[in-house]
Amino acid sequence: MSLDTRDTLKSDAEQSGRAIYGGTMARRGFQQGSLFQRGTRRKVWVARWWEDVIQQDGTLGRLRRSEVIGSVAELPTRRKAMQVMSQRLSSINSGEARPQSIRTFGEFVKKDWMPVILPTFKCATQKHYRYMLDVHLIPAFGNTQLRELTREELQKFLCRKLNSGLSWETVHHFKCGLSKILGTAGEWRYITENVAQRTKLPQRQHGTERAVLTPAHVLGIAANLNEPARSITLLLVLTGLRVGELLALRWGSIDLKARLLRVAETVYDGHFDRPKTKRSARTIPIGTETAEILAAIHPAAVDARALVFASRDGLARSMESLA
């Protein structure tokens, strides 16, 4: 079983008599730290030192930190263990280390990140992040301080999710979400490193080849649908529009004489937004079949701002309403 040398011990209740080196600071800017062994069957070296931290109210404070720096098998002598501890303290003693926040991942997400960053995302992305945070990320890391999150801990989490049967794409979204959140924490100087950037996923395994619908299959499916689902199905196939783009289509964006269709909006759960990417805002030519479908549902008197596939009250339809 490999040793996670980045583990931070939850308890500092060791008696001072067990420390075998150091234990006091020569001055606030320089530390020797303390070092002792822990364990019986599998002994490890534990180092202790003081860290400047940003407290919940934003003021500076100090906390005593304990961390496993290696096993006795890996570091058989005290001298070698002291060298590792000295390297660990080098950034503190050189003055390069800056205080990190004791805020937990859950507190940061709920009180800082979600009110400020989440609203900048598109509606569908916001919904996906809320699901990801509520169901997976906050249950796993909510009570862990931001400064105590390690690459190893995040890596194990991602591996567990893959082994539980979740798809590679889903777990990749978790990795990107963690990196986005911790990246913001770093920009706001809560932490010094975005450890999620150093996690890895196995090479993506491609599944079986997708079946391609033939024109006969599409017509067969459409024949068993009622309006407007029938017209929407055929137009999705003929134009290549995304569902949200078609449901946000307005009559003013269609020129049946010139046979042109302009994609300017998308809709998700009743929220209108710009198309998914810059290139998604486009004007496309339409063929005879597309023009005939649109002409058949075109009202005699039409408002250019009216939705082509509006509900009875004139609002955008949801994808669920088409099922």
Cα–Cα distance measured from residue 213 to residue 219, given in angstroms and rounded to the nearest whole number: 10
Tens digits of per-residue pLDDT, 30-75? Answer: 788 889 898 888 899 988 888 777 777 777 778 787 878 889 888 9
Least reliable range by pLDDT among 53-67, 97-111, 167-181, 192-206: 53-67
Angle at 29 between CA 27 and CA 30, to 5 degrees: 70
Question: Average of pLDDT values for 10-29?
Answer: 39
3-state secondary structure of 82: helix
Name the H helices within 146-187: 151-163, 168-187
3-state helix, strand, coil in the chain (%, to 5): 45, 20, 40
Question: Average of pLDDT values for 199-226?
Answer: 87
Cα–Cα distance measured from residue 61 to residue 225, given in angstroms and rounded to the nearest whole number: 66
Higher-confidence residue: 301 or 194? 194
- In the numeric block, which tokens belong to residue 180? 């986005």
Domain ranges of the chain: 16-98, 105-198, 215-322
Identity of the residue numbered 34: S
Cα–Cα distance measured from residue 124 to residue 129, given in angstroms and rounded to the nearest whole number: 9
- In the numeric block, which tokens belong to residue 62? 């100090």
- In the numeric block, which tokens belong to residue 25? 């600071």
Q: Residues 215-322: name the CATH superfamily.
A: Intergrase catalytic core (1.10.443.10)
Q: What is the pTM of this model?
A: 0.64
Higher-confidence residue: 5 or 220? 220
pLDDT for position 208: 76
pLDDT for position 18: 35
Parallel, antiparallel or unpaired: strands 271-273 and 25-27: unpaired
Q: Taking the alpha carbons of 224, 229, 230, 232 in that order, is the dihedral positive or negative?
A: negative
Cα–Cα distance measured from residue 309 to residue 246, given in angstroms and rounded to the nearest whole number: 8
Cα–Cα distance measured from residue 40 to residue 202, given in angstroms and rounded to the nearest whole number: 36
Looking up tokens 């569908």 gives 124
105-198 folds as DNA polymerase; domain 1 (1.10.150)
| Dihedral-angle region of residue 95 (phi above 0 means left; psi in -120 to 50 means alpha; beta otherwise) | left
Cα–Cα distance measured from residue 181 to residue 179, given in angstroms and rounded to the nearest whole number: 6
